[in-house]
Amino acid sequence: MVDFLGSFLTFLQVEKNASPHTIRNYAEDLGQFFQFLEKEGASFPQDLDYLAIRHFLALMQAHGYERRTIARKLAAIRSFLRHLNREGYLADTSWTTISTPRIGKKLPKFLYVDEVFRLLAAPDSQTPAGLRDVAILEFLYSSGVRVSELVALELQSLDLNRGQAIVMGKGGCERLVHLGRFARRSLLAYLEQGRPEILRKNADGDREGALWLNKYGTRLSDRGVRRIVEKYVRQVSLAKGISPHSIRHSFATHLLNAGADLRVVQELLGHVNISTTQIYTHITRDQLKEVYNGAHPRA
């Protein structure tokens, strides 16, 4: 079983260019599924069929898992079994008839403009780490990149003169992202004053090409970025659950609220399908209040 899982995770990383976060989630979900099969005394992969998966999903429901979580686990199992079918390890395809649990659309968490400004002002720009942190926050908000795209950036990916960077998106597709003047200014300060100081901690610093560095002078991980964002979210007392992806949501929401074309935002976010981008067309409280005040005769 370990070999099958290892082969699949390698496939996700190499062929699908999946982020470390996605790979960890798949590994955890499939690990739970394997434990279930082991307790059931099922032979792997011979006993992998419709009934085994239905039994697992029913057990998850009985244990109180939310529909969204069950749907995510089913997606991981489907992807794994599709890989086994493709590689010739599994002949059964009855699992393809299992339907995904119906879940309501969950609106993405986002910050209002004033909340973003509070977050961007939180780091101490008098320290190397603070210079790095403000540059990270400004980069996230200015470009709308995914955290996996952010941490994969190399120094050579950046063109500050043009205010652009090339990121590697999902599926190994390159995308050009744009950087505003505040992001460029913070990046310049980080590159001139912050990064060289942090790089001193790395004995092989001359060969380190990563743009974002951790305290040891090596490439910052996606988990490290999440911790940085969580730190400043707590510092400025913003709502719980705000993550780097929430800044991406805020980027899209603020552009659309200011009148940006949906297809332009789709391109900036690197979405393949416009239906993925349409979730950002939700109405904010500020818009509702503005419409109410302008239209209601007794407002």
- Per the annotation, the verdict on 170 as an active-site residue is yes
- Per the annotation, the verdict on 190 as an active-site residue is no
Active site residue: 82, 185, 245, 282, which one?
245
- Per the annotation, the verdict on 245 as an active-site residue is yes
- Per the annotation, the verdict on 248 as an active-site residue is yes
Active site residue: 280, 282, 285, 296, which one?
280
For residue 137, give the nearest of 217, 210, 242 by alpha carbon: 242
HSE, side-chain direction, 13 A CA sphere, residue 200: 7
Active site residue: 73, 83, 132, 146, which one?
146
> In sequence order, what DSSP letters do the residues of 208-226 get, joined into one string?
--BSSB-TTSSBPPHHHHH
Residue carrying structure tokens 């001193």: 200
Residue carrying structure tokens 């998850």: 60
Q: Quick one: tokens of 140?
A: 């996230």
Total residue count of the chain as it appears in this document = 299
Active site residue: 170, 185, 226, 282, which one?
170
Active site residue: 184, 219, 248, 249, which one?
248
Sign of the C-alpha dihedral, residues 231, 232, 233, 236?
positive
- Per the annotation, the verdict on 249 as an active-site residue is no
What gap in Å lies between CA 227 and CA 42, rounded to an integer? Answer: 40
Active site residue: 271, 285, 292, 298, which one?
271
Residues catalogued as catalytic: 146, 170, 245, 248, 271, 280
